[in-house]
Amino acid sequence: MSTYTALVVLSSLVIFSYLFDLFAKRTRFPSVLLLLVTGIALRLLTGWLGVRMFDPMLMLAVLGNVGLILIVLEGALEIRFEPAKLGLIRRAFLSALLVMLASTLLIAGLLHFLGGMRWYICLLNAVPFSIISSAIAIPSAAGLPPHDREFVIYESSFSDILGIVLFDFLLYNQAFTSRSFVALGYDVIAILAIAAVCCLALMWLMGVIQHHIKFFLIISALILVYALAKEVHLSSLIIVLAFGLLLNNADSLRHRLFQRYIHYERLPADLEQMKMLTAESAFLIRTFFFLLFGFSMEIGELARIPVLALGALIVGAIYLARIGSMALVAPREGDRAGFIAPRGLISILLFFSIPTQQMHPLMQDGVLFVVILCTSVIMSFSLLASRRRAIA
């Protein structure tokens, strides 16, 4: 493939992704599904043409982590913190926590019953399927009323963070002891302290930089802090969420030292530019991530009855846990957001992070694809139903 042919293909894919996005906003059909189908079609086309391609798995982890950072930051930059929203935030947190725990236990029980593996393996393999994908949920919720949209942003962001905490805890603690939980407490305290220091430092840096190119520097610094914290097994997504919330709510912080040394006059204009850059960067990264994931799929896996059956059972467990949990902690939002529980980017990242020796034998890539496909389609029909009720 020549350089110019590659440029034509890449630019065309971005244009198609933009058109998919417009289609998704009009129909509430997730653009991610269209990207996955396009990736599968590209795999079939390149195989038919005999074109040799690189291994997409080499790029998925990098694009996935960067995309996760940008998407959570994009969502956080849209949230305004007000005392009246404390109840909403509490319900979103409890919903994310309870739904994730209930889903993990139900899916782990299913894997234990079907495969007979020890509970640790079943729990570790269940966690990636128990986390709502903010990469799909946040863009899909753009057309919802403000209250429901904010609930989806909070819940999916909390789900990502709590899911990563749980996954890392299980990955590095095969035996649950008091020392394990004490270490987890220290890790949470450490990441909160690091988040506070880093967020203030990054905002101060935004204020002092006079060069016309600074937002990519800030985002790069944020990614650097995220990666360094992940290297020592801390849940660094908290830093990303906290930084976005700080930027969008800086005018509400009246502390004298903050207003004197951190807050600056040009912040409102810089905030708008940061929102625009983050949204467009997230769109680009999300496009190529889901295209590559679709391209990496083995088509034959999707035609196997055991794969389809296990995927369907996992989807059933996901919604059983979600409906029951939300009825307890978020009944108001459960009626409208109960079926907005897509699996996607974060599930893919964690699924492929499971060590080979700890992978459940029933878990295949096709199962993950079936769950992503089904939860996205169910979410789409739920959004369409909500739209019809709003019109009526």
Residue with tokens 């600074």: 214
Look at residue 391 in the predicted model and tell me its pLDDT. 57
pTM for the full predicted model: 0.82
pLDDT in tens, the chain (392 residues): 667 777 888 888 889 888 888 887 777 677 778 888 888 888 888 877 777 766 666 678 788 888 888 888 887 887 777 777 888 888 999 999 999 999 999 999 999 998 878 888 999 999 999 999 887 888 777 777 888 888 888 888 888 888 888 888 888 777 777 777 788 788 888 888 988 899 899 888 888 888 778 888 889 999 999 889 888 777 787 888 888 888 888 888 878 888 887 888 888 888 888 888 888 888 888 888 888 888 887 777 777 888 899 999 999 999 999 999 998 988 888 777 888 888 888 888 888 888 888 898 888 888 988 898 889 888 888 887 766 665 55
- Contact yes or no for 245/81 (Cβ under 8 A): yes
Taken in order of first residue, the domains within the chain and their CATH numbers are 3-391 (1.20.1530.20)
Distances in whole angstroms, Cα of residue 326 to Cα of each of 24, 92, 93, 198, 282? 26, 9, 11, 34, 29
In the chain, the N- to C-terminal Cα span, in Å, equals 53
Look at residue 390 in the predicted model and tell me its pLDDT. 57
Q: CA-to-CA distance for 110 and 360, rounded, in angstroms?
A: 12
Residue 199, C-beta contacts closer than 8 angstroms, at least 6 positions apart: 239, 242, 243, 246
Establish how many alpha carbons lie within 13 A of residue 82's alpha carbon, considering only the half-sphere containing its beta carbon: 8
Look at residue 213 in the predicted model and tell me its pLDDT. 81
- 3-class secondary-structure state, position 348: helix
Of 42, 66, 76, nearest in space to 245 by CA = 76
Cα 325 versus chain centre, distance: 20
